[in-house]
């Protein structure tokens, strides 16, 4: 179910109205049911996968904290994905083609987990915690790795073998990428790891944990929440706060404005510029990349705002994901502003465990580069994402190793403006890599930068006016909220101006007819 749809509006309205009438326990059940309906709208079969992840992480979380549940409870829970999938495939329509053995494996795996749970329980207490942590991490990475990367790596290996003269008639399985898998598996990993490190307490109520993991506003595209930030909010009944409710509505309005008005309209130009049969020249290459930069920012930060706004309506606070990323003055600064919950996840669960800044400079550079490479790969099974990660890793290393750069970019005034412009240029180059379908397309984009004589039949300046018409209102909003250091904080504005801005944003959304474009981050 997309946030930009009437079913979602109806779901949110019904859930919000019912939520505040119910006692705490009822609210948890309501959130769980709403989240499963929300996820099942896309493809109900993959709810079995979410259930599998929930069961494994719930029992692993408890075991990591040294609390063991009877095996009969684990076995009883393990039946749930199997029953759901069996019932669903019997009574409901089927979605996109996917091999049956994959679906069967996802539903049967909890039974296998029950045996592992039994076996690992016989280990000495000290080793048990580590074993359950490993089991949780490996299960989540296994699910993510298979559904997201199997065909990519297997296809690449087969292609490589083909080039070496070793051809096979192997047929790769039909695997479809379940929506949101990259987000909820990462949230599960941080849950198990934080419990292991003693930073968080496990959920002891399976319904609370299931509602936490599947919480619908952030299930499919984040923000990736840490257990200490989100889980405690599920353990107590939220108290009605009118100001918080207003903020939720404002977040949703601003999110819609970013997504429908900015992103979807800029996508018209970006999609054209990056189409394979368009003869790119330099103005078009730059305009297309600029339009894509606005598209991806409006799309993802708009999604996050709607997610945070929806959660706010239910009295639940989700973390910031964006803080004026295109105003960044350095690569490090950019990653403190762009997809904050993901970059901090990679920092805490990959970069620091690898050694972080400790050790030699060479080791630090390797850690940084590898982390960014993995962050790039997280975005999708495509070599362009890997190159994009490597590009940002290289930028970060160059920034750290160049003497005086940190001081220059951190200085206020003209030097900050120069740094900001430079960083925006580097960001745009990164988006060109990200948007190209293949590395070959990126080389074509690079080649176009040298062609200023105009090879493309469509003049570039008229579409540039279109892009600017959608960029300038966004810029005005950003400048208006800049002082508050929060992209959606309009509290300091006079109420009259705020009212006018709400009306203008509402009209901007309602009169955008670019058509419904899916959220970009749903595919990651």
Query: Mind telling me the catalytic residues?
Result: 379
Q: Is 100 in the site for other proteins (CB under 8 A)?
A: no
Q: Which residue has the tokens 């069967």?
A: 104
Binding mask of the shown chain, residues 378 to 407, with x at each position contacting other proteins by CB under 8 A: ------------------------------
Q: Which is nearer to other proteins, 9 or 479 (CB)?
A: 9
* Contact indicator for 372, 433 with CB cutoff of 8 Å: no
Three-state helix/strand/coil letters over 258-284: HHHHHHHHHHHHHHHHCCCCCCCCHHH
Residues that bind other proteins (rule: CB under 8 A) add up to a total of: 36
Going by the DSSP 8-state scheme, the letter that residue 237 receives in this structure is P
What is the rounded distance in angstroms from the CA atom of residue 419 to the CA atom of residue 408? 8
Which of 85, 92, 256, 255 minimizes the C-alpha distance to 178? Answer: 85
Among 272, 324, 366, 522, binds other proteins (CB under 8 A): 272
Q: Is 1 in the site for other proteins (CB under 8 A)?
A: no
Q: Which tokens sit at 467?
A: 């892009």
Q: Which is nearer to other proteins, 242 or 360 (CB)?
A: 242
Strands (E), 242-332: none
Among 271, 319, 344, 451, binds other proteins (CB under 8 A): 271
Q: Which is nearer to other proteins, 237 or 504 (CB)?
A: 504
| Interface positions, 241-270, toward other proteins (CB under 8 A) | 242, 245-246, 249, 267-269
Q: Other CB atoms closer than 10 Å to residue 256's CB: what's the count?
A: 22
Q: Which is nearer to other proteins, 63 or 267 (CB)?
A: 267
Would the CA dihedral through 220, 223, 229, 234 be positive or negative?
negative
Q: Is 16 in the site for other proteins (CB under 8 A)?
A: no
Among 517, 519, 520, 524, binds other proteins (CB under 8 A): 517
Q: Which is nearer to other proteins, 169 or 277 (CB)?
A: 277
What is the rounded distance in angstroms from the CA atom of residue 388 to the CA atom of residue 393? 9
Q: Which residue has the tokens 């029992």?
A: 59
Q: Which is nearer to other proteins, 2 or 512 (CB)?
A: 512
Q: Which tokens sit at 416?
A: 């900050």
Taking the complex as a whole, the smallest distance from the CB of residue 460 to other proteins amounts, in Å, to 10
Q: What is the DSSP secondary-structure string of 414-457?
A: HHHHHHHHHHHHHHHHHHHHHH-SSHHHHHHHHHHTT--S---S
Binding mask of the shown chain, residues 475 to 514, with x at each position contacting other proteins by CB under 8 A: --------------------xx-xxx-xx--xx--xxxxx
**Binding region for other proteins (CB under 8 A):** 6, 242, 245-246, 249, 267-269, 271-272, 275, 457-459, 462-463, 465-466, 469, 495-496, 498-500, 502-503, 506-507, 510-517
């Amino acid at each position: 179910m997309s946030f930009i749809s009437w079913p979602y509006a109806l779901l949110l309205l019904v859930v919000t109205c019912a939520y505040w009438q119910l006692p705490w326990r009822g609210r948890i059940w309501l959130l769980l049911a709403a989240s499963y309906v929300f996820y099942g709208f896309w493809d109900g079969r993959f709810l079995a996968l979410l259930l599998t992840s929930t069961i494994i992480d719930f029992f692993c979380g408890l075991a990591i904290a040294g609390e063991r549940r009877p095996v009969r409870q684990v076995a009883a829970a393990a039946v749930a994905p199997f029953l759901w999938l069996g019932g669903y495939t019997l009574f409901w329509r089927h979605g996109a083609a996917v091999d049956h053995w994959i679906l069967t494996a996802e539903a049967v795996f909890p039974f296998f987990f029950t045996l592992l749970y039994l076996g690992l329980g016989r280990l000495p207490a000290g080793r048990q915690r580590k074993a359950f942590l490993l089991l949780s991490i490996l299960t989540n990475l296994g699910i993510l790795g298979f559904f997201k990367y199997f065909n990519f790596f297997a296809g690449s290996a087969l292609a490589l073998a083909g080039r070496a003269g070793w051809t096979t008639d192997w047929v790769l399985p039909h695997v479809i990428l379940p929506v949101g898998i990259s987000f909820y598996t990462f949230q599960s990993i941080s849950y198990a790891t934080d419990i292991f490190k003693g930073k968080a307490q496990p959920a002891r109520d399976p319904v609370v944990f299931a509602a936490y993991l599947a919480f619908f506003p952030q299930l499919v595209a984040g923000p990736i929440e840490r257990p200490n930030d989100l889980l405690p909010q599920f353990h107590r009944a939220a108290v009605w706060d009118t100001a918080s409710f207003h903020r939720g509505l404002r977040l949703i309005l601003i999110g819609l404005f970013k997504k429908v008005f900015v992103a979807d309209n800029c996508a018209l130009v970006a999609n054209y510029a990056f189409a394979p049969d368009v003869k790119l020249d330099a103005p078009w290459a730059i305009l297309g990349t600029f339009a894509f930069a606005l598209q991806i920012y409006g799309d993802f930060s708009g999604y996050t705002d709607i997610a945070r706004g929806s959660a706010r309506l239910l009295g639940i606070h989700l973390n910031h994901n964006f803080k004026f990323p295109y105003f960044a003055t350095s690569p490090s600064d950019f990653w403190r502003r762009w997809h904050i919950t993901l970059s901090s996840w990679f920092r805490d669960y990959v970069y620091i465990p690898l050694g972080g800044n400790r050790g030699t400079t060479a080791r630090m550079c390797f850690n940084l580069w590898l982390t960014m490479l993995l962050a790039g790969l997280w975005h999708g099974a495509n070599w362009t994402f890997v190159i994009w990660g490597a590009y940002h890793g290289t930028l970060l290393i160059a920034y750290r190793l160049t003497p005086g750069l940190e001081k220059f970019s951190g200085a206020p005034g003209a030097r900050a403006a120069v740094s900001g412009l430079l960083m925006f240029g580097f960001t745009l180059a990164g988006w060109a890599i990200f948007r190209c379908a293949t590395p070959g397309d990126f080389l074509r984009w690079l080649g176009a930068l040298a062609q200023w004589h105009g090879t493309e039949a469509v003049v570039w300046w008229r579409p540039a006016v279109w892009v600017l018409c959608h960029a300038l209102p966004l810029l005005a909003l950003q400048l208006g909220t800049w002082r508050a250091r929060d992209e959606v904080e309009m509290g300091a504005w006079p109420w009259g101006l705020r009212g006018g801005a709400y009306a203008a944003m509402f009209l901007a959304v309602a009169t955008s007819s670019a058509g419904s474009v899916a959220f970009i981050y749903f595919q990651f």
